[in-house]
């Protein structure tokens, strides 16, 4: 037995209003849940992006309706969105026009393109061609 997919991924941001504006407004992700001061959730294709305020989630709440264990992270996380080479070029233009710095853009040895930038909380975000990891399927042994 082994997991076949990642259902949800989490990033942490103290300013959830800025996260909502960035992920929902600028990136255009569909917001599917929001609890002020605690979290905002977005649909990304078949997966879910969870953005939590780490101060609100790092300690378990014994009175909460659901017994979710405490969790949280400090410092920048990383998330990579799949995009075609043409879409990466369009995102570069959109990010630049919005004054968002491009930290790196390059082709990997196997030829896939990546573009790196930051969200308002400092998390490292990337757009990359899906073939970035496709070549690994023949090299990674379970």
Q: Is residue 70 part of a domain?
A: no
Q: Domain total for the chain?
A: 2
CB neighbour list of residue 107: distance below 8 Å, 6 or more residues apart: 113, 114
pLDDT of residue 19: 97
**What is d(CA 9, CA 29) in angstroms, rounded to the nearest whole number?**
14
- pLDDT tens for 27-44 read 999 999 999 999 999 999
Q: Is residue 103 part of a domain?
A: yes
If asked whether residues 82 and 122 sit together in one domain, one would say: yes
Q: What element of type H or E holds 9?
A: strand 8-12
CATH number of the CATH domain containing 23: 3.10.180.10
Does residue 82 sit in helix, strand or coil?
Answer: strand
Mean pLDDT of 64-76: 84
pTM of the model: 0.89
Q: Is residue 64 part of a domain?
A: no
**What is d(CA 126, CA 112) in angstroms, rounded to the nearest whole number?**
12
If asked whether residues 80 and 55 sit together in one domain, one would say: no
If asked whether residues 13 and 41 sit together in one domain, one would say: yes
């Amino acid at each position: 037995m082994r997991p076949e997919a990642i259902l949800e991924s989490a990033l942490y941001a103290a300013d959830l209003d800025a996260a909502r504006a960035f992920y929902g407004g600028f990136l255009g992700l569909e917001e599917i849940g929001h609890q002020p001061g605690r979290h905002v959730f977005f649909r990304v294709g078949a997966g879910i992006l969870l953005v939590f305020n780490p101060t609100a989630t790092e300690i378990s709440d014994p009175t909460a309706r659901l017994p979710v264990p405490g969790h949280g992270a400090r410092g920048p996380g990383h998330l990579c969105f799949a995009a075609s080479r043409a879409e990466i070029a369009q995102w570069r233009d959109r990010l630049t026009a919005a004054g968002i710095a491009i930290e790196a853009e390059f082709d990997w040895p196997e030829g896939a393109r990546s573009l790196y930038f930051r969200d308002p909380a400092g998390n490292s975000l990337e757009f990359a061609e899906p073939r970035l990891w496709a070549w690994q399927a023949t090299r990674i042994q379970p």
